Every structure is written in C-alpha cells, then in structure tokens.
Chains A and B, each alone.
Chain A
Amino acid sequence: MASHGVPRSSTTVRTPQAIQADLLKIEAYNNLVSEVQALRFPSVQKSKHTYSPTSLSTTSSLLTQNPEFNTIWNFRRRIVLHLLLPTSSSSPTLKDDNDQENDKLSLLSSELNFLFPLLQKFPKCYWIWNYRVFILQTASTNLSLQTALKLWKSEMGLVNKMLSRDSRNFHGWGYRRYIVQNIETLQKDINKETTKEKEEGEGEEGVDGEEEEESLAEQEFAYTTTMYGKDLSNFSAWHNRSKLIPRVLSERGATIEERRTFLDGELGEMQTAVYTDPYDQSIQLYNHWLLLESCSSKQTTSTSPVFSLTNSQKLETLSRTLEWMRELLDEEPDCRLLLEEMIFVGSLFRDLDETEEEEDVDREEIKRDMQSWLEKLMEVDPMRGGRWREMQEKL
C-alpha cells in the first residue's frame, strides 16, 4: 500500500498456479491472524491463557511474517508487562529478589534477541524500533539500575552495526541519540546512588564499583569524526556533530581562545573537504553552520554563543573563507553550491559593522561580486531561478 523501490512486474496477469499459491499463503496467514486475535479477545473460560508465554510465541510467528502489524506489537507489550508481574510466578513460595531479577532479565533479553534479525530485515519499520525502545524502557523501570544500564549499553553495538550497513539510516541515528541520552541518565542516577551510599558511610568498599563518566558527548563527537572519515558525504554525521559541539566545548571548559582554535580547525577541515568535493551538499551545510554560528552579526541572546568572535575576527574569518572560495571558483566556475555559499558568506560580511582596520576590504566590491555570482547562478542553475531573481532584487 506504500511501497518503495519495488520494481513493477512486467506481467499483468498471474497464472492460475500463482493465484492458487497466493490463496494458500493467504489462508495460512489469516488462520494465524485469527489465532492471535482470539487470544486478544478470549472467551471467559480461556482468558487466563491470554498473557502466557505461548501467546508470546504465537505473536512471534505473526510478527515475523508481518512486522507492520502494530496492534500485535501492542498485544505483545501487554503480555510482557503481565509476565513481569510477581504474581505471574507459578510457584506459591516467593522467589528471592535475585531470582526474580534474573527471570525478568531473561525475558527482556529474549525480547531484544527476537527483534535483532527483524531489524536487520526491516530496518525502516517504525514499529519494531518502537517496540525495542519499549523493552528497554521497561528494563529501566523493572530491573536494577546497573542491570538496566548494561542492556542499554549493549544497544550501542547494535546501532553501530546498523549504521555501518546504512550510514544514513534515519532511524539508526535517531535511535543512537536516544540510547546515548538514556545511558547518560542511568549513569547519573547510579552515580548519585553511589555518592549517597558513600556519604552515609555504609561503605562496603568496592561493592557498587567506581563512578563513571556521565557524559558521552566526547565519545559521540569522536564517532562523527570516524563516520565522516569514511564518507565525507554523510550529512547525518555532520548534523550530529553540529549538535554535539556546544556540549563538548562546554564540558571541556574551553576558553574563548580555545574555542577559536577549535573553530579554525573545523573551518580548515571544511576547506579541504569542499576542495575534495565542491558538489557535495552535506559538507556545504556543515560549513554553513560553522560560519552562521561564529560570524553572524546577530548575537544570540537566549543562549551563550559557541564561538565568541570579535567583530574584526568575524570579518577576518569571512574574508579568509571568501579568499579560498574565490580560488576554487576559478577551477570550478559552474559549481552552483559554491556560488550559493559565496553569496551567503558575502551577505554575512555585509551584515557586520565596519571596523577601522578594514581598509583593504571593499564592501562595494563584495556587493558587485555577489551580483556577478547571482548572474552566474541564474545561468548554471535555472531550476532555482525564481530564488536567485528574488535575491537579486533584495541585494
């Protein structure tokens, strides 16, 4: 009903044999659906079977065939929640806490294992990802913090695998940020507990282990470096990098000077990257972010700026950028992305206040250049001519 990338079959009619085979498949599938639906809406006498391990395995068969059937995932959630209740234990004597924790862990782990091959087969199915998140959230509320943390941490292995298979998988990157967030929260809670225990002096030493670093910002920042190292054209990685930088710099306690050095490093990398592939939008967008964040005339009032450049430092950074872009334009005179970026840099420049040291920079010259770049854009990028014409009127 909403298919992507499925080739159109050339034959218009199926053979009678093919229809027959389909009918058999349909019958088997519908029998399975009826079986699960009967479990969801049981008659009174059978109702105790609804939330049993057998029900769980019946839904497994159906979901393996059709993971898009979200109602069945919901039913599975209810079964799991029911099986986690202490009263569901068949033995009347209370198990000790440790056994209970182990039972819960083994149930939740087997759920995660069930999902793994499904995610590999259907990496874009929302419902499987949602269900996986549900299991992990359930672990956080049902298991000890340490055990839950272990489960969340092992998700990083899964997400690394997913992203090495498809480095732009939208779900993969969103899932990664979500996992990181949860690991950080759990670690924070654990550290809080450890500190409390130490303060209360109950210190059976070494029992709960050392406090660990709460923030994964540096690790995630390094991951984006690895990812764009493999493929410069990975916008998802550049995007994540732009989101991580403010945190990384503040956690490093970076001074204004150190931030400027960091910025220069990034801008230098971008210069190399744009030279490598001036036709790549991912790189241009990240470069765009760096310049917007550092050289815009508007001071962001709500949050503290990531890079605090003085007006003359901004002007200097922008003219340096324009300089290498002009050189590259000589080699690639028809590159529309480069032309667009140069117009952007030019307009940032013209928005800034003039300074006294600015003798050798001619604002009029930049304006004239911008006009000629726009002319060129209209010639090489007629598709977006409406936009360029509008820009020209505003210039």
Chain B
Amino acid sequence: MSISSPVAFTNNPDELFVKKHVKYIQSLDTRKDEFEYWLTEHLRLNGVYWGLTALHLLNDPTALPRDETINFVKSCQHPSGGFGAHPDHDAHLLYTLSAIQILAMVDALDAVDTAATVTYVAGLQKPSGVFAGDEWGEEDTRFVYTGLQTLKILDRLDAVDVEKAVGFVLACQNYDGGFGVVPGAESHSGQIFTCLGVLSLTNSLDRLSTASRDQLAGWLAQRQLPNGGLNGRPEKLEDVCYSWWVLSSLAMLGKLHWIDQNKLVGWILSCQDEVRGGFADRKGNAVDVFHTVFALCGLSLVGWGGLKEVDPVYCMPVETTKRLFGSK
C-alpha cells in the first residue's frame, strides 16, 4: 500500500472539532424521541460500525461501551451465521461484514460463532464467482467485497473460490478503467472502491495493466471539482461519502498525489456542523454518522494531524488491520 507522505496544512486555517464529533456519535443512541431513529433501524448495526470507526480515528475508541457493543452484535446473529441489522431483522452480507468489523476493532471475534459466519458467507458465492447479498440472490460487486473482507478478517479466504471472485470483478471493468455493479454496468466510484478492495485484499491488483490503472486513477482524479470536493460519476455533484470512495481508491492505486489534497481537506472540513458535531454530505446539510465516518476517513487518509491512520482497503483503523494481518 503506497500512501504518499502527509501534506502540510499550514495554509489551512480550518479546524476539526474533535470533541464535538465524539459527542455527536455518543448521542446517536439517545435519540429515541426522534422519528428518524426508528425509521433507520435497518442500519443500526452499520451505524455502530460507522460510529465506532469514527471514534477510533478520533482517538477515543472507548467512547462507546465495549460490552454493550459486543452484546448488541451478538444479539444480531442468526443461527445461519449471518447477521441482521438489529434483532428480528433478516441476515444480509452488508450487516455481516459490519458485525465482523466491529468485533475485529474491539478485539472480540470469539464472542460470536465465526465458523457459522464462514459457512453463511461461503454459501452466498455463485458459480460465476460473484456473491449474492442474501438468500434472495441480488448480485453486485459490493457483495464480492463484503463477502471476501469478512472471510479475510476471519482468515478463511480458503472457504470460497477466490480466483473466480477476482475473475468476476475483472469482468466488471470498463474502458474508462472504472468498475460497475455487474459486467456491462457504468463505472461508479462506490463500485470502484469495492472492486479495488477485492483486488487489494486478494493481492491481485497487478492483474490490472499499468495502463488501465493509470486510466482509472486519471478518471478518479477527474472527480475533483473546482471547490475541492469529489463527485462519484462524471457531471454529478460533490459528496463527502464519494470523497472516501474516490480517495481510498486513489490510495490503493498509489496515486493520492494526483488530486489537490489541501483543497479536499478544506472542503471536507466545511461540511462539519461546528455547533453540534458530525458531517453532512455537503456544506449546510443535515449531518449523519455515515458521512461523519467517511469525512474522518478521508481526512485521515491524507494525514490530518491528530487522527489515527485509516486502512484504505478495509476502512478500519490501521491499528486493527495490523493486529489482524501483521504489518505488510
């Protein structure tokens, strides 16, 4: 993983409101008198992962109580081994990865039946190499990433056909260097992140030619708009979450220096709610934990002082991935 050296932010007077962001994340589970809280139950487990990752990067990993976190994750596991977003919700790969990431971060993987999880994930791989999100069979390059990362954390990549999974991802590459949801689909930054993630965590990035990697990095660099923010596709608006998909992808390709990091930092910081904490998709909009974690990941990736280092492949603190996989 080549990440270029941190930039100096001397000409950037903006401030990161660390304490407010910690408080904001802590407040998320106390908002039961807000309708939104109940409407988003289907994201609860992901929310814990987003919040916890943010707190780790903010250097305050114990701001959420560890035991409660572990117990909640346990309560979401199904006999099949998969996880739902909340007790009484169906299992899906998206939640299963979040569950395993949370446990990896708090070093408690033995709290759940991980052997069953391996069986669950392996059972979702299709003959083409792609993974279905759940028993109902939606196929998407996102699920190849979520499936493989789960198994990689559990050190059980051997449970699936990695070569076929990589082959499927490669078949989703377009002439512009980017990747889509399935073969033939338009390139999209979110999908590029997951596909490069698959290639990185299986050590197969070199399956892309130098020319196609440069083409892709060029496409990604084009995502930066004059205000410094990044969009997800040509001719779309900038968005904090896309900043992460684009930035982590550039990091995986070793081309972070192909965009203006100073300008990006200034733009991300402008999306903070400096009164109540948290980040929004764009300046002036309502904040949420999803954009908060991806804003912090982005800042961390370009070396913002005081933040813990994030791993662009796994979207977890480098401390965690080092503990799991050793230093590369």
Residues of A at under 8 Å CB distance from B?
A: 1-9, 12, 19, 22-23, 25-26, 29-30, 33, 37, 40-41, 65-66, 68-71, 74, 77, 130, 133-134, 168, 170, 173-174, 177, 233, 235-236, 239-240, 242-243, 280-282, 285, 288-289, 292-293, 340, 382-387, 390
Contact = CB atoms under 8 A, between A and B. Distances in A.
B39 A233 contact: no
A347 B192 CA distance: 26
Contacts of A69: 41-42
B273 interface: yes
Contact of A7 (B174, B187, B258, B284): B284
A387 B175 contact: no
A8 B33 contact: no
Contacts of B235: 168, 233, 235, 280-282
Contacts of B234: 235, 281-282, 285
A285 B46 CA distance: 35
21 contacts: A2-B43, A2-B241, A3-B288, A4-B281, A4-B285, A7-B286, A8-B286, A8-B287, A22-B33, A25-B35, A29-B39, A68-B39, A74-B136, A130-B138, A168-B235, A174-B185, A236-B186, A281-B222, A382-B260, A384-B221, A385-B260
B89 to A, nearest CB: 4
Contacts of B233: 168, 170, 235
B174 A5 contact: no
Contacts of B221: 384, 387
B136 to A, nearest CB: 6
Contacts of B19: none
A-B pairs with the 8 shortest C-beta distances? Answer: A2-B290, A386-B257, A383-B260, A1-B40, A281-B234, A387-B258, A6-B286, A71-B90
Nearest to A236: B186
Interface in B1-59: 33-36, 38-43, 46-47
B184 A243 contact: yes
A99 to B, nearest CB: 29
A384 B258 contact: yes
Contacts of A25: 35
A8 to B, nearest CB: 5
B39 to A, nearest CB: 5
A27 to B, nearest CB: 10
Contacts of A68: 39-40, 42-43
Contacts of B46: 1
Nearest to B294: A2
Nearest to B176: A285
Interface residues of B, number: 63
Nearest to B89: A71
B226 to A, nearest CB: 8
Given A1-B40, A242-B175, A292-B175, A130 B281 contact: no
A4 B284 CA distance: 11
B217 interface: yes
Contacts, number: 147
Contacts of A240: 186
Contacts of B85: 71
A9 B287 CA distance: 10
**From B36, B43, B175, residue with most partner A Cβ within 10 Å:** B175
Nearest to A126: B138
B84 to A, nearest CB: 7
A384 B259 contact: yes
A293 B175 CA distance: 9
Given A2-B291, A26-B35, A74 B286 contact: no
A207 B40 CA distance: 52
Interface in B166-191: 174-176, 181-182, 184-188
Contacts of A66: 39
Contacts of A71: 42, 84-85, 88-90
B126 interface: no
Given A3-B281, A281-B222, A282-B235, A130 B136 contact: yes
B115 interface: no
A39 to B, nearest CB: 12
Interface string B196-227: 00000000000000000000011001101010
A235 B186 contact: yes
B236 interface: yes
A70 B287 contact: no
Contacts of A41: 88
A169 to B, nearest CB: 11
A384 B224 contact: yes
Contacts of A40: 88
Nearest to B286: A6
A163 to B, nearest CB: 13
**From A4, A173, A382, residue with most partner B Cβ within 10 Å:** A4
A44 to B, nearest CB: 19
**From A30, A65, A66, A174, residue with most partner B Cβ within 10 Å:** A174
Contacts of A70: 42, 89-90, 92
A177 B195 CA distance: 21
A1 B290 contact: yes
A125 to B, nearest CB: 11
A164 to B, nearest CB: 18
A394 B235 CA distance: 30
Contacts of B288: 1-3
B249 to A, nearest CB: 14
A293 B174 CA distance: 12
Contact of A4 (B239, B257, B259): B239
Given A3-B281, A235-B233, A177 B38 contact: no
Nearest to A23: B33
A383 B224 contact: yes
Contacts of A239: 174, 186-187
B323 interface: no
